[in-house]
Amino acid sequence: MDIYSKEDLVENFDLIASRIEKGEIFIYPTDTVYGIGCDSRNFESVEKLRQIRDRSESAFSVLVPSKDWIGWNCIVLDSFSKEISKLPGAFTFILQKKDSCDVASNVSFSSKIGVRMIDHWFQGIVERLGFAIITTSVNKKGDLPMTCLEDLDEEIKRGVDFMIDDGKIDSKSSKVVDLVDSKVLRN
């Protein structure tokens, strides 16, 4: 398995972007904890990620390239503008998907989707990709999220194609707010 640094990622962006577009599963840093993801448009990769994370029925959130992406793919009411203006940041906002939402059908099994834009250098990589990637914490159900590569569960490690190492991340998971139903799901 390949482990890339920030510098490697910047220098080899085209190679790594093509690996993501081919459906590879990878671990990456965020402003909260390490995430595990894949191209959110790739049905087979999303299924593989579901097996790795043992999440057969739970919806995944997506790390999006821009606020424009949110507007193109989600229903954003004027009343949501104050919340959306907090992005990038340690928030996951649950929004109604548009019928044309550019993610695979198995990302979310409802009419809603969680969206994130992180306050971290990796957000620039997602912007360059131009499409959303799955974002979920790197841990088995019931375990604490991964904050450094040394914490990686061996079973998860076997399912991952590459990792991006950014050292130890000392934070907590994002705040999850369902904007459609006006409620906080995780603080």
The predicted-structure confidence for 14-58, as pLDDT tens digits, reads as follows 999 999 999 999 999 999 999 999 999 999 999 999 999 887 788
Residue 170 confidence class, pLDDT cut points 50, 70, 90: confident
Q: Is residue 123 part of a domain?
A: yes
Residues 100-120 have a mean pLDDT of 96
Can you tell me the distance from the alpha carbon of 102 to that of 18, in angstroms, rounded to the nearest whole number?
A: 18
Q: Where are the beta strands (DSSP E) in 108-156?
A: 112-116, 133-137
| Structural domain boundaries, residue 178 | 2-182
Q: What is the CATH number for 163? A: 3.90.870.10
Residues 167-172 have a mean pLDDT of 87
Q: Is residue 187 part of a domain?
A: no
Nearest CA to 27 out of 134, 119, 117, 174 is that of: 134
pLDDT tens per residue, range 65-97: 999 999 999 999 999 999 999 999 999 999 999
pTM for the model: 0.93
* DSSP structure class, residue 104: -
Report pLDDT for 144. 84
Contact 116, 61 (CB under 8 A): yes
Q: Is residue 16 part of a domain?
A: yes
Which tokens in the block code for residue 46?
């999303």
CA torsion angle 108 122 12 4 (round to 10): -90
